[in-house]
Chain A
Amino acid sequence: MTSTYRTAEGGRIDRSTTLGFTFDGEVLTGHPGDTLASALLAAGRHSIATSVKLGRPRGVAGAWAEDPCGLVQIEEPFPEPMLLATTVELFDGLAAHGLPGQGRLADVPDSARYDAVHHHVDVLVIGAGPAGLAAALTAARAGARVALVDEQSEAGGSLLSGTDQLDGVPATAWVEAAVQELAGSPEVLHLQRTTAFGSYDDGFVLALERRTDHLGGAAPEHLSRQRVWRLRARSVVVATGAHERPVVFADNDRPGIMLAGAARTFLHRYGVLPGREAVVFTTNDSAYDAALDLSRAGVRVQAVVDARPDGAPHRRAECDDAGIPVLPGSVVTGTRGVERVTHALVAPLAGGQVGPSSAVACDLLLVSGGWNPAVHLYSQARGRLRYDDELGAFLPGDDVDGLAAAGAAAGVTDLAGCLADGQRVARAALASLPLEPAADDRLPSAPESGTPAAPMVLWRVPDTSGAEGTTSFVDLQRDATVADIARAVGAGLRSIEHVKRYTTIGTAHDQGKTSGVLTSGITAELLGVPVRATGTTTFRPPYTPVSFAALAGRDRGRLFDPERVTAVHGWHVAQGAVFEDVGQWVRPRYYPQPGEDMDAAVLRECAAVRSSVGILDGSTLGKIDVQGPDAAVLLDRVYTNLMSSLEVGSVRYGVMCGVDGMVIDDGTVLRLAEDRFLALTTTGGAAKVLDWMEEWVQTEWPELRVHCTSVTEQWVTFPVVGPRSRDVIGAVFPGVDVANEAFPFMAWRDTTLDGVPVRLARISFSGELAYEVYVNAWYATAVWTRLIDAGRRFGITPYGTETMHVLRAEKGYPIIGQDTDGTVTPHDLGMAWAVSKKKPDFIGKRSFARPANTDPRRKQLVGLLPTDGRTVLPEGSQIVELHPDGVLPPPPVPMLGHVTSSYRSAELGRPFALALVRAGRSRIGETLHVPLAGSLVPVEVTASVLVDPEGARRDG
């Protein structure tokens, strides 16, 4: 039978609608407005699961995110682990079960959408309780751009959990009016179900909006389930309220033991009686409200156990009227019960000594040890906390830049005070904008609260149970006890951060919302130091757990990382190309024909290029237009080669080094005019090289009249490669004399195709006769198609990056970033010829003279031929040298270097590799070994150029 514990009326639930759900397989019902926890309590179910280490039954101990116990896993309609029953809004069809501390990740993809929104405001108010609403109204009325975010399903905060009156009517009526007023202000963004979980520099706050979670299976698919709001505010008002703090005593973890304020919330907000017979244990006035409200609702309150010697004299009459016995100067020392608390053990407390206890029957034990302001967001923004001896809590200290706490979050305890504080903080924010407060920004008046009795700070009740603190739980989720803190202190730990890590207190889903300050207090007691000296552990985002899916937002799947494609990408797709990622670029790797794997396709593509003609989409090459009277001066300084001597119409290969003399990029340079060059970079180096040039021009040589502009996407680049490339180019571009004498190697020529300017350059990255075709990318597909059509009679073969890599490696051309790793000089690559001896200086030149850079034992680029003629060495393989007697040296075996590139060669008819090998060039002809799968593969060291070392092919 369900709903035995539902009140006859009241609460903010919609009793006209019944929702069905299952928990641990049990079929139950609830109403819209319920949380999973309130629906379970309404069914009389307190116990959620057993604890993580000790297997003790645990129940609902709070009413919202502070609950350290009630972890559940949702199974339907979507699997989601580690949620709090107190924060899961009930929906029809929900299926969940309790979790003993650990959830299970879903094994199906999360099909929901997630997104993010940036939003800028003058004033961000976090929390829509009395202080937050007052602040938001004050700011909105002044015309400020305002955002108000609140984690609950509706605004009101603590006003939803009580019976407060404002202007003589229920406070919830004012809440409704305030919400309406805000809704009518065009510059106000008001979000409920939105938890501000991180507070950062410069008014930046991250908030998670749960947009459709509460709709369950009825959630529309096109809406994001959750949204991360990236809020930027000139002023932030933290009106996040306060968390009630328990008192620790023996066996304080049984189901049926909960925070006093939580019981009040379940009663007033959800129409649920959390029990029939209650004992209320308190150190302060606030729990009297819970006792009286529950009593009025029909709960038999067996006793208010007030630790203060005089209790709360001003509440005495009310309790007497309600027939509630009050036991001042008393404490709860322990409990009985297993699945549910059955008795509270109550004893007098005098002079720190606990007297003999008596058992009071109850099925509900409410506890209040005071209130901790929710200072998390204030502290995350590097606000300094100060300990308040009277409240036994850490309060915000001075305001941090553009961020201030208001209301209960600032330690204000009464309603009138919270309203006034919200307005005060909002006005201060307005003054900083600056904006004038509205002429009429009146707030309602709250009745005067009586003279409160001072709270007593009590962290724990001495353990008289004989368990020596081992059942006095501080962090219920972690099963961490007073005994654990004592052990930490006994082990010599003094820092609260160390105690946290030793005991794991505060490391669970709730991040110590109820246990953190208790730990500070108990640790201070055990160490015999003031709490202010102990301090708290550091508050870090997120305030409540946030799923990775929400953080990823729409950056998933295809949108995870931009896919950059060239202007002829569609053609490659249509041809069935297999693609590979090169940085963010997606490039054809090879074009398999039916039945071909990559090896077969690449061998075919390589053979076609070397025997006839192939075509590559090289458009991803970085291209930088370098222009100005001092263009040549700049290039002379950034390349190791001499570029100023390059003639207009010619091309030169160049190498770039960092100041440390290590190669950072390479590529060809076309001199377009006396004052203009086109510098080509590697695909991956395009942005880096432009930034590099800009850095030097802007920061070191502002006097140079030179400008660098990226034209990477302006020009497509199509290398047409192979002995028949001249025929193809000649056919497509009849206006160009392609004869070797007229158009020699490392020259470029301009022509037109149907009136469109085209640039041709004789550059070869394969050793073959080759032409690179450059054209405005608008015409990419048209020009590509012309080349393919003209090449058809020569069997023109489109080839991808894999074949490009094989062809260049056969010629010993390094790929910067693959054959180099930031520790390789041009000399190591065998490119001393590319390092000018004429120039007085260039970037990195001085480093070449450093002893480390002239050491003959440096690693150098060489070729490797596995002597078995079969093994393709894995790239990254280490290279070792055997003793003359053929024995491996004793460990640690010296590593001479590693394989940087390795392929099968159609031309050589065998696999080959490039490698960086210590003193490699002096080892040419030697046999070294590569450890591979438990054996040693002998390899012959060769020069890095393995195909056509004479360069006979480049002119066709």
Chain B
Amino acid sequence: MAELLRTHPLEAWTDTFAVLPAAVGITVEPFVAMADVRLGAVAPDVQARLGVDLPTVPNTWVPTGDGRAIWLGPDEWLLTSTAETPEALEDRLRAVLVPHGGAAVDVSAQRIGLRLTGERVRDVLARGCALDLHPRVFGWGACAQTTLGLAGVVLLALSDDGSDHVVLVRSSFAGYLADWLLDAALEFTTTEQ
């Protein structure tokens, strides 16, 4: 069967990202299955059948076997998986949750992810994010739904020294955010002549 081609919203930016200096590295995260998960009043023994421990501490994320479980709200998580197809992930979660009043929705294409790495990444983020991203406050395992520039984002900390983050952004805002990040990083990507 011929495979239907997938296109990333930031395809046109990859060449620009590729030549950024290491201090402000931007890479496009590969396509992964993502599901928005609600538990409602689903009992703990049922939750156990999800195969992941959803983080209960607000504004945290945890790695799962093949992805991440990200706290989005008091009853909302974003679950990602590199191993399953979007449909398989949604089907599996729905089968567990829906009979008990929970829910799972395939949102694989709703957002895209950008990995931001380097020693100046925190400075770039601080140009548009009002949260305190000091590593003591926003270290590994922290996440937040907030705004970056004028776009809503989910921000994940992947290190304890502030040099590694993932930004999830609604796909329609991806181009704006990419342009914004490049503009905000200009000070660190331009060497004075």
CB–CB under 8 A between A and B in the complex?
A: yes
Set of chain A residues within 8 Å of B57, measured between Cβ atoms: none
Known: A559-B149, A565-B172. A709 touches B105 (CB 8 A): yes
Set of chain B residues within 8 Å of A713, measured between Cβ atoms: 109-111, 170-172
Mark the stretch among A158-166, A489-497, A771-779, A840-848 that contacts chain B: A771-779
Q: Which B1-59 residues have a C-beta within 8 angstroms of A?
A: 1-9, 11-12, 31, 36, 38, 40-41
Contact of B106 with A by CB under 8 A: yes
Set of chain A residues within 8 Å of B192, measured between Cβ atoms: 220, 222
Contact with B along A694-719 (1 / 0, CB 8 A): 00000000000101011111110000
Contact of B83 with A by CB under 8 A: no
Known: A554-B180, A776-B109. A754 touches B7 (CB 8 A): no
Contact with B along A188-214 (1 / 0, CB 8 A): 000000000000000000000000000
Known: A115-B184, A561-B150, A709-B105. A120 touches B134 (CB 8 A): yes
Q: How far is the CB of A822 from chain B (nearest CB, A)?
A: 26
Known: A707-B103, A711-B107. A566 touches B172 (CB 8 A): yes
Q: Which B163-178 residues have a C-beta within 8 angstroms of A?
A: 170-173, 175-177
Complex: A202 Cα to B3 Cα, angstroms: 55
Out of A559, A565, A755, A782, name the residue touching B7 (CB < 8 Å).
Answer: A782
Contact with A along B150-193 (1 / 0, CB 8 A): 11000000000000000000111101110110011011001010
- Tell me whether B176 and A562 are in contact (CB under 8 A): yes
Known: A224-B187, A628-B40, A713-B109. A754 touches B3 (CB 8 A): yes
Contact of A781 with B by CB under 8 A: yes
- Tell me whether B109 and A778 are in contact (CB under 8 A): yes
Out of A113, A710, A755, A776, name the residue touching B86 (CB < 8 Å).
Answer: A776
Task: With a 10 A CB-CB cut-off, give which of B9, B86, B102 has the most chain A CB atoms.
Answer: B9
Set of chain A residues within 8 Å of B98, measured between Cβ atoms: 627-628, 675
Complex: A569 Cα to B7 Cα, angstroms: 12
Complex: A756 Cα to B180 Cα, angstroms: 33
Q: How far is the CB of B140 from chain A (nearest CB, A)?
A: 19
Task: Give the secondary structure class of A's interface.
Answer: mixed
Complex: A828 Cα to B74 Cα, angstroms: 41
Complex: A581 Cα to B172 Cα, angstroms: 14
Contact with B along A548-565 (1 / 0, CB 8 A): 000000110011011111
Contact of A653 with B by CB under 8 A: no
Contact of A315 with B by CB under 8 A: no
Complex: A871 Cα to B68 Cα, angstroms: 60
Set of chain B residues within 8 Å of A714, measured between Cβ atoms: 105-110
Contact with B along A584-623 (1 / 0, CB 8 A): 0100000000000000000000000000000000001000
Contact of A119 with B by CB under 8 A: yes
Complex: A554 Cα to B180 Cα, angstroms: 8
Set of chain A residues within 8 Å of B131, measured between Cβ atoms: 118
Contact of B101 with A by CB under 8 A: yes
Set of chain B residues within 8 Å of A224, measured between Cβ atoms: 187
Complex: A564 Cα to B175 Cα, angstroms: 8
Set of chain A residues within 8 Å of B108, measured between Cβ atoms: 714, 776, 778
Set of chain A residues within 8 Å of B8, measured between Cβ atoms: 778
Contact with A along B75-98 (1 / 0, CB 8 A): 000000000001100000000001
Contact of B62 with A by CB under 8 A: no
Set of chain A residues within 8 Å of B173, measured between Cβ atoms: 562, 564
Q: How far is the CB of A549 from chain B (nearest CB, A)?
A: 15
- Tell me whether B38 and A782 are in contact (CB under 8 A): no
Q: How far is the CB of A697 from chain B (nearest CB, A)?
A: 11
Known: A115-B184, A559-B149. A711 touches B7 (CB 8 A): no
Set of chain A residues within 8 Å of B36, measured between Cβ atoms: 709
Set of chain A residues within 8 Å of B130, measured between Cβ atoms: 118, 230, 232
- Tell me whether B9 and A567 are in contact (CB under 8 A): yes
Q: How far is the CB of A781 from chain B (nearest CB, A)?
A: 4
- Tell me whether B109 and A777 are in contact (CB under 8 A): yes
Contact of A419 with B by CB under 8 A: no
- Tell me whether B4 and A559 are in contact (CB under 8 A): no
Set of chain A residues within 8 Å of B150, measured between Cβ atoms: 555, 559, 561-562
Q: How far is the CB of A509 from chain B (nearest CB, A)?
A: 29
- Smallest Cβ-Cβ distance to A120: which chain B residue: B132
Complex: A710 Cα to B8 Cα, angstroms: 20
Task: With a 10 A CB-CB cut-off, give which of B103, B111, B123, B172 has the most chain A CB atoms.
Answer: B172
Set of chain A residues within 8 Å of B171, measured between Cβ atoms: 567, 713, 777
Counting chain A residues whose Cβ lies within 8 A of the other chain, the interface size class is 35 or more
Contact of A889 with B by CB under 8 A: no
- Tell me whether A564 and B176 are in contact (CB under 8 A): yes
Q: How far is the CB of A213 from chain B (nearest CB, A)?
A: 16
- Smallest Cβ-Cβ distance to B188: which chain A residue: A222
- Tell me whether B190 and A222 are in contact (CB under 8 A): yes
Q: How far is the CB of A224 from chain B (nearest CB, A)?
A: 7
Q: Which A858-910 residues have a C-beta within 8 angstroms of B?
A: none
Q: Which A769-797 residues have a C-beta within 8 angstroms of B?
A: 776-783
Out of B86, B102, B106, B183, name the residue touching A554 (CB < 8 Å).
Answer: B183
Complex: A713 Cα to B40 Cα, angstroms: 24
- Smallest Cβ-Cβ distance to B180: which chain A residue: A559
Contact of A142 with B by CB under 8 A: no
Complex: A563 Cα to B110 Cα, angstroms: 16
Set of chain A residues within 8 Å of B134, measured between Cβ atoms: 120, 145
Contact of A117 with B by CB under 8 A: yes
- Smallest Cβ-Cβ distance to A116: which chain B residue: B127
Known: A562-B151, A778-B31. A629 touches B6 (CB 8 A): no
- Tell me whether B105 and A705 are in contact (CB under 8 A): no
Known: A711-B107, A776-B86. A564 touches B132 (CB 8 A): no
Contact of A570 with B by CB under 8 A: yes
Task: With a 10 A CB-CB cut-off, give which of A222, A224, A710, A780 has the most chain B CB atoms.
Answer: A222
Known: A675-B98, A754-B3. A232 touches B132 (CB 8 A): yes
Complex: A120 Cα to B6 Cα, angstroms: 41
- Tell me whether A222 and B186 are in contact (CB under 8 A): yes
Contact of A757 with B by CB under 8 A: yes
Q: How far is the CB of B170 from chain A (nearest CB, A)?
A: 5
Complex: A715 Cα to B172 Cα, angstroms: 11
- Tell me whether B38 and A781 are in contact (CB under 8 A): no
Set of chain A residues within 8 Å of B128, measured between Cβ atoms: 116, 118
Q: How far is the CB of B70 from chain A (nearest CB, A)?
A: 14
- Smallest Cβ-Cβ distance to B134: which chain A residue: A120
Q: How far is the CB of A624 from chain B (nearest CB, A)?
A: 10
Out of B5, B137, B179, name the residue touching A782 (CB < 8 Å).
Answer: B5
- Smallest Cβ-Cβ distance to A623: which chain B residue: B110
Task: With a 10 A CB-CB cut-off, give which of A558, A562, A567 has the most chain B CB atoms.
Answer: A562
Task: With a 10 A CB-CB cut-off, give which of B4, B41, B104, B130 has the most chain A CB atoms.
Answer: B4
Set of chain B residues within 8 Å of A627, measured between Cβ atoms: 38, 98, 103-105
Complex: A378 Cα to B86 Cα, angstroms: 55
Q: How far is the CB of B58 from chain A (nearest CB, A)?
A: 16
Known: A559-B183, A564-B172, A714-B110. A118 touches B126 (CB 8 A): yes
Complex: A565 Cα to B184 Cα, angstroms: 21
Q: Which 10 A-B pairs have the closest CB atoms?
A: A777-B109, A222-B190, A564-B172, A120-B132, A705-B101, A562-B176, A707-B103, A627-B103, A707-B38, A713-B171
Q: A628-B103, A705-B101, A778-B8 are in contact. List 19 more A-B contacts (CB 8 A).
A: A117-B126, A118-B130, A120-B134, A120-B137, A554-B183, A562-B150, A564-B173, A585-B172, A627-B98, A627-B105, A628-B102, A707-B40, A707-B102, A709-B103, A711-B106, A713-B110, A755-B4, A756-B4, A781-B5
13 contacts between A and B (CB under 8 A): A115-B184, A117-B127, A230-B130, A559-B176, A562-B151, A564-B172, A620-B172, A709-B38, A754-B2, A776-B106, A776-B109, A778-B108, A783-B4
Residue numbers of B with Cβ under 8 A of A are 1-9, 11-12, 31, 36, 38, 40-41, 86-87, 98, 101-111, 123, 126-132, 134, 137, 149-151, 170-173, 175-177, 179-180, 183-184, 186-187, 190, 192
Residue numbers of A with Cβ under 8 A of B are 113, 115-120, 145, 220, 222-224, 230, 232, 554-555, 558-559, 561-567, 569-570, 585, 620, 625, 627-629, 675, 705, 707, 709-715, 753-757, 776-783
